[in-house]
Amino acid sequence: MFVDYSLYLVTDRGMLGGKNLYKAVEEAVRGGVTLLQLREKDVGSGEFYNIAVEMKKLAGLYRTPLIINDRLDIALAVDADGLHIGQEDLPLEVARKLLGPGKILGYSVSNQAEAVYGEENGADYLGAGPVYHTGSKEVAIEPIGPAGLKRIKESVSIPVVGIGGIGIANIGEVKESGIAGISVISAILARRDIEEAARELKSAWS
Amino acid sequence: MFVDYSLYLVTDRGMLGGKNLYKAVEEAVRGGVTLLQLREKDVGSGEFYNIAVEMKKLAGLYRTPLIINDRLDIALAVDADGLHIGQEDLPLEVARKLLGPGKILGYSVSNQAEAVYGEENGADYLGAGPVYHTGSKEVAIEPIGPAGLKRIKESVSIPVVGIGGIGIANIGEVKESGIAGISVISAILARRDIEEAARELKSAWS
C-alpha cells in the first residue's frame, strides 16, 4: 500500500483549547495533512473506541489513512489503517502478528539501534525523534537533531518520519535529512487557523 | 469449556501494601481461588503486557484460567483464557468478535436489562454488582444487594458471579441467590494471610 508520509498529524486534544477534535482534524486534512494518528491517553476503552469510530468516518471521507496510537484493540475494533507503538507499548513483534500483514505498523525510535530493531521486527515506518525540544509531550530523551534523524534514516530502508518540535522555522533542515515526512502536533493543532497552518507546512515541505 | 466460577479473584495492586503481586496471587490460588482476573488501571501497554505474561505463567502452573480486565489487546497478546469488560469498555459485541469463540468473555452488569443484553450479545458469564458497598473501586452505582443479584441471576441462563463487598460475613446470603460464584478483591488481597483468607471463603462457599 502506498502511504504518503509527508505531513503526518498526531492528535492531542489538550492542544485544542476547547475546539472540537473532529472539526480541528477536518481543517487539518483540508489543509493538506496526508496521514492521521489518533492519540488518546486519558480516556477509557469505550470512549476511545467511540472517538476512533468517528475519526474513521472522517478519515474515510477524505481518504486519509487513520493510524491508532498504542492501542491495538482499538485499531482492530474500528478496522483502522494501522497502529503506532512506542518503546513502552506492546512488543513490536507481538503487535505485528496480531495486527496482520495488511495494516500499517509504525514504531517510535530515538536511535539507530531501535531503528534497525524496528525494521527487522515488522515496522512499516519509523517515527524518529524527538528532533527538537517540544512542549507536546513529556519527553525524557534529549533531542536527536537533524543529524540524529539523518543517521536513523540512513540505517534503515523503511520510511522515516521526524517528530518533535518540527515547524515552519526548522522544516528546511529537517527535509535535508532525506526523510519521508514530518509528524506534527502543535505546529498544526495549537494554531488558530489550523487549515492554514497545515497548508503552510505542506507548501514548505514541497 | 468448563469454568469453575466459585471463587474468582480480581487483582488490585493497590490492596497489597507493597507485597509482590505474583506472590499474593500464588497464595490466593493455593488457598482455593478458581479463576483469576488481572486488572491494571494505571500502567502503560508494555508494562501491562509484561505483567500479563508473568501472570499467565503462574496461572498455567496452577491450571487456573486467566481473564484480562478491559484490554482485549493484552488478552490477545498473551493468549489469555478470556477478557472481562465493563459498561465503559469496548462494546460487548465488538469484543466477542475480536476475541473469538474459544475464549471466555465476561461482562459487568448492575441490572436485569444489562444482564439480558450481555447474554444476547456474547457474554459467557456476568459479573453482577456491586452487591454491597465496597472500598475497592470508585463505584457510582448503588449496591444491588442479594435481592438484586437474585433478580439478575433469574433473568439469564449464563453463569452469574456476584461482586462488590462480598466476604465471610455475607457469603451465606449471597450464595442463597443461586449464583455460580463470588468475585472478590479485598476479602482476599487486603488480608494479611492471603492463602488462609481464600481457604476460608472457599470453605464458606462449599
Q: Is B71 close to A45, i.e. CB distance below 8 A?
A: yes
Residue B140 is predicted with a pLDDT of: 74
Q: What is the mean pLDDT of chain B?
A: 95
Q: Exposed/middle/buried for B44, CB within 10 Å: 0-12, 13-18, 19+? A: middle
Tens of pLDDT along B61-84? 999 999 999 999 999 999 999 999
- Is A173's Cβ below 8 Å from some Cβ in B? no
Q: What residues of A act catalytically? A: 39, 108, 137
Q: Is B46 close to A89, i.e. CB distance below 8 A?
A: yes
* Cα radius of gyration rounded to whole Å, chain B: 16
Q: How far is B196 from chain A (nearest CA, A)?
A: 35
- Is A98's Cβ below 8 Å from some Cβ in B? yes
Residue B136 is predicted with a pLDDT of: 54
- Cα–Cα distance for residue pair A154/A152, rounded to 1 Å: 5
ipTM of predicted assembly, 2 dp: 0.93
- Is A91's Cβ below 8 Å from some Cβ in B? yes
Residue among B46, B49, B90 whose CB faces A77 most closely: B90
A127 pLDDT exceeds 90?
A: yes
Third-level CATH fold of A7-205: TIM Barrel (3.20.20)
Give me B96's grid cell: 466477542
A184 φ, ψ (degrees, to nearest 5): -130, 155
3-class secondary-structure state, position B69: strand
Structure confidence at residue A2 as a pLDDT band (50, 70, 90): confident
Residue B134 is predicted with a pLDDT of: 82
Give me A120's grid cell: 527487522
- Is A76's Cβ below 8 Å from some Cβ in B? yes
Interface test with chain B among A45, A47, A88, A108, by most B beta carbons within 10 Å: A45
Q: Exposed/middle/buried for B53, CB within 10 Å: 0-12, 13-18, 19+? A: middle
Give me B82's grid cell: 478470556
A-B contacts at Cβ under 8 angstroms: 60
- Is B18's Cβ below 8 Å from some Cβ in A? no
Q: How far is B127 from chain A (nearest CA, A)?
A: 18
Question: What DSSP assignment string belongs to chain A?
Answer: -----SEEEE--GGGSTT--HHHHHHHHHHTT--EEEE--SSS-HHHHHHHHHHHHHHHHHTT--EEEES-HHHHHHTT-SEEEE-TTSS-HHHHHHHH-TTSEEEEEESSHHHHHHHHHTT-SEEEE---S--SSS---SPP-HHHHHHHHHHH-SS-EEEESS--TTTHHHHHTTT-SEEEESHHHHTSSSHHHHHHHHHHHH-
Is the Cβ–Cβ distance between B171 and B132 less than 8 Å?
Answer: no
- Is A77's Cβ below 8 Å from some Cβ in B? yes
Residues of chain B positioned with their CB less than 8 A from the CB of A103: none
- Cα–Cα distance for residue pair A96/A124, rounded to 1 Å: 10
Sign of CA dihedral B194, B196, B197, B198: positive
Q: How far is B52 from chain A (nearest CA, A)?
A: 11
Tens of pLDDT along B70-129? 999 999 999 999 999 999 999 999 999 999 999 999 999 999 999 999 999 999 999 999
Q: What residues of B act catalytically? A: 39, 108, 137
Encoded amino acid at B110, one letter = S
Residue boundaries of the structural domains of chain B: 7-205
Q: Is the pTM of this model over 0.90?
A: yes
Residues of chain A positioned with their CB less than 8 A from the CB of B76: 72-73, 98
Residues of chain A positioned with their CB less than 8 A from the CB of B73: 71-73, 76, 90, 98
Tens of pLDDT along A69-85? 999 999 999 999 999 99
A22 φ, ψ (degrees, to nearest 5): -70, -35
Residue A140 is predicted with a pLDDT of: 74
- Is A99's Cβ below 8 Å from some Cβ in B? no
C-alpha triplet A193, A195, A197: angle, nearest 5°: 65
